[in-house]
Amino acid sequence: MDSSAVMEVVRAPATPSPGVGKRRAGGSSRRASMLGPAFVAAIAYVDPGNVATNFAAGATSGYLLLWVVVAASLVAILVQFQAAKLGIATGKSLPALCRERFARRGNLLLWAQAEIVVLATDVAEFTGAAIGMRLLFGMPVALSAAVTAVVSLLLLELRRRGRTRPFELMSTAALILVGAGVGYDIVCVGHQSGSGFVSGLAPGFAGAHSLVLAMGIVGATVMPHAIYLHSGLVQGRGWTPDAARRSPSLVRRALRTDCLLGLGVATLVNTSMIAFGVGLAAATGGAWTGDIVGAHVELTGRIGGAAALAFAVALLSSGISSCGVGTLAGDIVMRGFLGRRLPLHLRRVVTMAPAVLFLMLGVPVTELLIFSQVILSLGVPVALFLLIGFCRDRSVMGPLVNAPVTTRLAGCSGAVVAVLGCCLPITLL
């Protein structure tokens, strides 16, 4: 071979192996197919219960409990990752696995407590949506309740008809809208402190009141119905359990990315709520102490109509989107634990009835939201330890089973959340 021929061989670009580009593109598209469920689950982390607890924490304790929001959100990311992994590895939701593995009596007890949790969740979410509707349009309670129910059902209809992506996109839009509304109000209200924000990331308490608020934040952040929901949302996305088990690394990366993105946005929104509470309390000279309706009044009188409008839109988006998510979680709970389901329209009517009744009776909003968090806190330990128990079982998870360090971390986090959850009702009641 002459020297020119040798040089041509050296300069010739390497020919890729057949199928390499396709495999890479296919891997990217398969990962992309898993993105979305965490953004739906993240709606549960910015619901009106979160609004109430974060506003109260910011208004009465400043940035002191910012670290609690961040720590609870990190636990939530780990928990939701576990829930998503369980659903994709088994092709079943957490309630459906319970039905398969537990005796009928125990399973009925688990279903009953899960339904109570979903009902309490819906009380908080429906209350927030109805208040937002009333603040925006001046509607009476009964009418705002009816409109809220109809709008949330329209959102659910997208998913029921197989329009999963539009449903996820609308949930993502609602999440961003809540964050944008709170962010705009932070800018309008002002009275922020960068050094105060940084100091709030250091763990600490200032008396019993801040401890109670911290427990409320944890109870409003790690949501049991979101665990049941996420384990069901990841199914039907072109991934069978066998396919997921053949590509455990790809599955873990995709689910981790989804959870970090979706719940990362929710974490930013929750920390923004704390900052808003700090700013509005300072703007009012401490007169405002975290009441949701009072926040709208103060914004209208002191800041301006645009800020008040942004607040009402954010609250309405939080309530309506979380109402739809709560009803969907209830459907997964009943279908999983009992193997039966109610039509979503009927479930919507059943779950909204207590909230409408409380609102029409004039029950104070803050007390109503706190009561819902008390009920929710009782369901946290059950969902967490069921989840951890399944995820550490290789016979259930296959190659997607938790590493021992993940199980220990999840178990310790779950134990702390469970203790705080059990202490919250005692402290408040």
414 vs 399, higher pLDDT: 399
Residue linked to tokens 């949501």: 223
pLDDT band at 164 (very low <50, low <70, confident <90, very high): low
Q: How far apart are alpha carbons 376 and 120 in whole angstroms?
A: 6
pLDDT band at 133 (very low <50, low <70, confident <90, very high): confident
pLDDT band at 21 (very low <50, low <70, confident <90, very high): very low
Q: What is the mean pLDDT of the chain?
A: 82
Q: Is 428 exposed, middle or buried (0-12, 13-18, 19+ CB in 10 A)?
A: middle
pLDDT given at position 425? 63
Decide if pLDDT at 342 tops 90.
no
What does pTM read for this prediction? 0.85
8 vs 338, higher pLDDT: 338
Tell me what the mean pLDDT of segment 279-297 comes to: 90
pLDDT given at position 344? 67
pLDDT digits (tens, 9 = 90+) for 214-258: 877 887 788 888 999 999 888 877 778 898 889 899 999 999 999
Decide if pLDDT at 353 tops 50.
yes
Decide if pLDDT at 63 tops 70.
yes
Decide if pLDDT at 24 tops 50.
no
53 and 217 Cβ atoms separated by less than 8 Å: yes
402 and 410 Cβ atoms separated by less than 8 Å: yes
pLDDT band at 55 (very low <50, low <70, confident <90, very high): very high
214 and 205 Cβ atoms separated by less than 8 Å: yes
pLDDT given at position 163? 59
pLDDT given at position 34? 76
Residue linked to tokens 């703007």: 283
**Alpha helix (H) residue ranges in 190-291:** 194-199, 208-221, 224-233, 241-246, 248-283
Residue type, 300: T
Decide if pLDDT at 18 tops 50.
no
